[in-house]
Amino acid sequence: MASNQNRRSAIKSIVTGTAAISAASMLSSFKSEEKEMVVDTALKGNINHAVCRWCYGDISVEQLCIAAKDIGIKGIDLVGPADWPTLKKYGLYSSMCNGAEINLTDGFGDTQFHAQLHKNYSEMIPKVAAAGYKNLICFSGSRRGKDNETGWNNCVEGLKPMVELAEKHGVVLVMELLNSKIDHKDYQCDRVEWGAELAKRLGSEHFKLLFDIYHMQIDEGDVIRNIKTFHPYINHYHTGGVPGRNEIDDSQELYYPAIMKAIVATGHTGFVAQEFIPKQPDHLASLRKAVHICDV
């Protein structure tokens, strides 16, 4: 974009200051540049783009939907039933539904929360299906001193009946991978290998993982290799710049075009949702730029 702007400035200088080149010729060149920019900004269609609602709390859901449609985004992540009518109004998909979880710390890894979680998910799963959606988020919760084996066993015990219900309704329960180093101290499902082992034990296509690229870069790194290795257990991705979870441009350490190419190479047909917290004054401009960075 900066390159096009520089070329525009050069054209303007030549038109106003050099008699040797005709104005008509330069206007023709300018129009060519405009046409090139339009072509460059069209999305390629290899990635199903989404955006997380919570990152844009300064605007309404409706305003976010309008912006998303303009950018070419297809889905909005982390909204519940109250916002689904607005998404439908604008032809947007609820790409990762929420509203059944208790919170991020009290999850399926602790038996003391199973009764409440069973109630919540038993009510929400049919609502997700009735609305025509598929993915419903869930969490392991905090470790609270439990070893891996106890955590896996507790999660299987708590999730198994909910996964069976999800299967009947064509819904997928998706457990998010979160870092336990910086943002979510003591969270148990903090490695993709841990989540993949849980998925193996549940043995259902109606339980998958949400691979949050920001979180996994912090806790384990090796992002592309892990995506290639564990992609059969992953059905959703979140972005975020490291460190800080801000813009995913060259101000941070991850190279997102390469990561997106690795995701596409796995045959991923789900969504990639932008979940960075914009620092730039124009939040929606940052969102547009991030989508184009990831559009490989």
Query: What residues form DSSP beta bridges with 96?
Result: 77
Cα 105 from Cα 186, distance rounded (Å): 9
Cα 40 from Cα 60, distance rounded (Å): 29
Q: Using an 8 Å Cβ cutoff, are 125 and 133 in contact? A: no
Per-residue model confidence (pLDDT) at position 42: 86
Q: Using an 8 Å Cβ cutoff, are 15 and 24 in contact? A: no
Per-residue model confidence (pLDDT) at position 3: 39
Per-residue model confidence (pLDDT) at position 20: 36
- Structure letter (DSSP) for residue 135: E
Query: In 3D, which of 283, 285, 242, 290 has the Cα closest to residue 57?
Result: 283
Please report the DSSP string for 208-251 in residue order. EEEEEHHHHHHHT--HHHHHHHHGGGEEEEE---TTTS---STT
What the block records as the tokens of 56 is 């844009």
In one-letter notation, the amino acid at residue 239 is: T
List, in order of start, the domains of the chain with CATH numbers.
1-42 (no CATH), 45-294 (3.20.20.150)
Judged on CB neighbours under 10 Å (0-12, 13-18, 19+), 65 is buried
pTM of this structure: 0.86
Per-residue model confidence (pLDDT) at position 12: 38
Cα 211 from Cα 228, distance rounded (Å): 12
Cα 31 from Cα 273, distance rounded (Å): 34
Query: In 3D, which of 252, 163, 185, 176 has the Cα closest to residue 216?
Result: 176
DSSP H helical ranges for the chain: 2-17, 23-41, 61-71, 84-89, 114-130, 148-169, 192-202, 213-219, 223-230, 256-265, 283-294
Per-residue model confidence (pLDDT) at position 29: 36
What the block records as the tokens of 226 is 């892990």
Per-residue model confidence (pLDDT) at position 32: 37
Question: Which residue ranges of the chain lie beneath pLDDT 70?
Answer: 1-41
Query: In 3D, which of 48, 98, 67 has the Cα closest to residue 268?
Result: 48
